[in-house]
Chain A
Amino acid sequence: MKFKKLLAIGMSLTLSAGLLAGCGSSGSEESDVIKIGGIAPTTGQVSVYGNAAVRGYQLAVDEYNEKGGVLGKQIELVVYDDKGDNNEAVNAYKKLVTSDKVDAIIGGVISTNTLAVAPLAAREGIPMISPTGTADDITKAGENIFRSCFTDPFQGEIVARFALEDLEAKKAAILFDQEGDYGRGLADSFEKTFSEAGGEIVAKKGFNPNDKDYKSILTEIKATNPDVIFIPAYYNSVSLVGSQIKEVGIDATLLGGDGWDGVIEIDSEAVEGGYFANHYATDDPNPVVQNFIESYKAKYDGESPKSFAALGYDAAVTLFEAMEKAGTTDKAKVVEALKATDLELVSGKTKFDEVGNPIKEVSIIQVVDGQYKLATKK
């Protein structure tokens, strides 16, 4: 009994000590570092994407710090893991704002997590830029919310235009990932653009990425004899769908969105000859792109940067440049400077529209001999 009491006292002491530690104030207003908060899934199901983005942030921070920082101050990056979970993302945001007192936020990475955090950031007016949250509503939350990637509807539209104009396709089938907004959003905008321009959508079917067998759906699609099949999904499913398309014996050009990035490491044969929209192309001769790839490879033991890494890097650079231009870390002034962004970035020449979405070109990439090749920019 006595022991239990002691234990209880001990427990409560450690707890309160922890709480007190959490309430520590973060120095004076005029600190000698600029604190940037990062929110990304570094563990869990979608950690592949989160880790790529964080590596991009970190590379940008290191480069700026070597050059003497931003506004003459060193940048300190604090990243919290949201595990791809909305509650965790909100907790990460609250910790960054209340206890770390960050000057701006880069994140989140996954659309739903970003949507969970955006309204909170909008209320506080803190500059926030999501590298990869593609869902349409993210930037509508407030004028201080920006993103580095193009939106889902825009992407679907571009791919549809490419199919019509460049591939001269007449009949298209759509096979989309029906779990989550990504596949559905792209499928709808592709369908709208393609059919309005006189093309025919011969089949539109959703699939569940957890089922690994799509042959039943593909047998149905085969009978409609399409010229192109648009597959907005993540690269793991794309590789399975692609190899089963060959198995069923459909002869059509495969098309996709940025979720395809990474498919050649899984199964390049499955998508050989297919095209997909992406944020940047690794074989783009632009020196901005080539310098980024070189320094990324040097920092991360030769790993080739996926588009999530490029966008993470772009988001950080956009923010630092805005702070330089504003001449201060004052939130409202940084937001104003962000609105006036006009930069040559890895993912293309970028300005923002009135909502905070980037206006830039989309790279259409083809898989040729198991490698990505830039086909065209639209």
Chain B
Amino acid sequence: MEKLIQQLINGLHVGSIYALIALGYTMVYGIIKLINFAHGDILMIGAFLAYFMLSSGLPIWAVIVISAILCALIGMAIEKFAYKPLRNAPRISALITAIAVSLFIQNLFMILFKPDPKPFPKTVSLGSLSLGGIRLDGITILTIVVSVALMIALEIFINKTMIGKSMKATSQDSKAASLMGININRTISVTFAVGSMLAAIGGILFSMAYPLIDPYMGTMPGLKAFVAAVLGGIGVIPGAMIGGFIMGIAESLTKAYISSQLSDAVVFGILIVVLLVKPAGLLGKNTKEKV
């Protein structure tokens, strides 16, 4: 029993990072119907920026803030230069562009900083709690708390602020929203900024737990977060969180009780099963296309 609880906690740790990244995928998809494949690479950029700032001796809270702001700017720039010109193009063009942006970022970082993994500085040494036979590592607690807090903040932001409401409006019907006087371009920019911020923080939390960073580090978490977003219902914010947690726990339990070779197969298998039963994802609404 204790072991099972320990495994669930392990799963929640990874899952909350997937959930953070999944939020960005889901928000962007909700607004412009684009799967932003470069999103996982923003996580990598966030981790790299943090690596350089920590190495130069900045305190961790400042590093998280600066890295998040810089990634927000990078996310906005990517949207402006790569996706905005294609806004009225067929969806497939934007999708291919997103893959190209992802490859571009990875290769750029490979040229700039070499492909060899770099050790991420251990700045925060948190102890660990032991409750009976269950051991809670400081980083695990921090990751889960920070992720959940950010998700709650995001829910409040979307439902209570003006810009958040205009995001919702844009995702429901962007034409009608712009007729109502909502600035669509600004709304989309803000969406990218917020999503990229969450990815950057996710990247720093990820590197604190697994202190090795390289230019490809965003690929696999990015892919799994995307699956988490689809699993929960793409475009639905609580869905992204639930999807992330399910992914993390499924992965952890598979590794523990079946085999680590099958963990990815099981996780992606769950996705297939869910999509067969509920094509719109767990919390997605089945919308009929109006013709």
Stretch of A24-32, A235-243, A363-371 with 4 or more beta carbons under 8 angstroms from chain B: A235-243
Complex: A214 Cα to B137 Cα, angstroms: 14
Counting chain B CB atoms within 10 Å of each CB, the highest count among A45, A206, A212 belongs to A212
Asked whether A301 is an interface residue with its Cβ less than 8 Å from the other chain, the reply is no
A217 located at the interface, meaning its Cβ lies under 8 Å from any Cβ of chain B in the complex = yes
B212 near A239 with CB under 8 A, answer yes
Segment 175-224 of B: residues with Cβ below 8 Å from A: 206, 209-212, 220
Taking CB atoms, residues of chain B closer than 8 Å to A48 are 116
Interface secondary structure of B, over-half rule:
helix
Selected from B211, B220, B256, the residue in CB contact (under 8 A) with A243 is B211
Q: Are A216 and B261 in contact (CB under 8 A)?
A: no
A223 at the interface (CB under 8 A from B): yes
Question: Is B260's CB under 8 angstroms from A207's CB?
Answer: yes
B87 at the interface (CB under 8 A from A): no
Which of B10, B128, B220, B259 meets A215, CB within 8 Å?
A: B10
Q: Which residues of A contact B7 (CB under 8 A)?
A: 216, 219
Closest A residue to B2 by beta carbon equals A223
A249 CA / B212 CA spacing, docked (Å): 20
Q: Which of B139, B211, B255, B264 contacts A216 (CB 8 A)?
A: B255
CB contacts under 8 Å to B, within A20-64, are 44-45, 47-48
Shortest B181–chain A CB gap in Å is 47
Interface mask (A204-246 → B, CB under 8 Å = 1, otherwise 0):
0111101111111101100100000000000010011001000
Does B160 lie at the interface of the complex (its beta carbon under 8 Å from any beta carbon of A)? no
Residue B252, interface by CB 8 Å: yes
B11 within 8 A of A: yes
Asked if B269 is at the interface (CB within 8 A of a chain A CB), the reply is: no
Measured CB to CB, the closest approach of chain B to A262, in angstroms, equals 10
Min CB distance A240 to B, Å, is 6
When distances are taken between beta carbons in the complex, the residues of chain A under 8 Å from B261 are 178, 206, 208
Question: What distance in Å separates the Cβ of A238 from its nearest Cβ neighbour in chain B?
Answer: 11
Q: In whole angstroms, what is the CA distance A210 to B263 when docked?
A: 12
Given A206-B259, A211-B260, A219-B6, answer yes or no on A247-B137 (Cβ-Cβ < 8 Å): yes
Q: Report which of A219, A265, A266, A267 forms a contact with B10, defined as CB distance below 8 A.
A: A219
Whether A219 contacts B3 in the complex (CB less than 8 A), given A206-B259, A247-B137, comes out as yes
**8 Å CB contacts to B: which residues of A137-151?**
none
Q: Is B119 an interface residue (CB 8 A)?
A: yes
Given A216-B10, A219-B6, A219-B7; A240-B210 close (CB under 8 Å)? yes
Please name the residue on chain B nearest to A269 by beta carbon.
B122
Check if B115 is an interface residue, CB within 8 A of chain A: yes
Alpha-carbon distance A212/B218, docked complex (angstroms) = 12
A247's closest neighbor in chain B, by CB?
Answer: B137
- CB atoms of B260 and A178 under 8 A apart: yes
Q: How far is the CA of A206 from the CA of B258 in the complex (A)?
A: 11
Chain B residue contacts of A216, Cβ below 8 A: 7, 10-11, 251-253, 255-256, 260
Inter-chain CA distance A178–B263, complex, in Å, is 13
A178 to B261, CA, bound (A): 8
Is there a chain B Cβ closer than 8 Å to A13's Cβ?
Answer: no
B212, A211: Cβ atoms under 8 Å?
Answer: no
Q: Which residue of B lies closest to A267 (CB)?
A: B119
B interface, CB within 8 angstroms of A: 3, 6-7, 10-11, 13-14, 115-117, 119, 128, 135, 137, 139, 206, 209-212, 220, 251-253, 255-256, 259-261, 263-264
Enumerate 6 A-B pairs (CB-CB under 8 Å) in ascending A order.
A48-B116, A208-B263, A210-B220, A211-B255, A214-B255, A239-B212
Given contacts A212-B209, A265-B119, 19 further A-B contacts (CB under 8 A): A44-B115, A47-B116, A48-B116, A178-B261, A206-B260, A208-B263, A211-B263, A212-B210, A212-B212, A213-B209, A213-B252, A216-B7, A216-B10, A216-B251, A219-B3, A223-B3, A239-B212, A240-B212, A249-B128
Task: State the 7 A-B residue pairs at the shortest beta-carbon distance, nearest first.
Answer: A212-B210, A216-B255, A216-B252, A216-B256, A215-B10, A266-B119, A247-B137
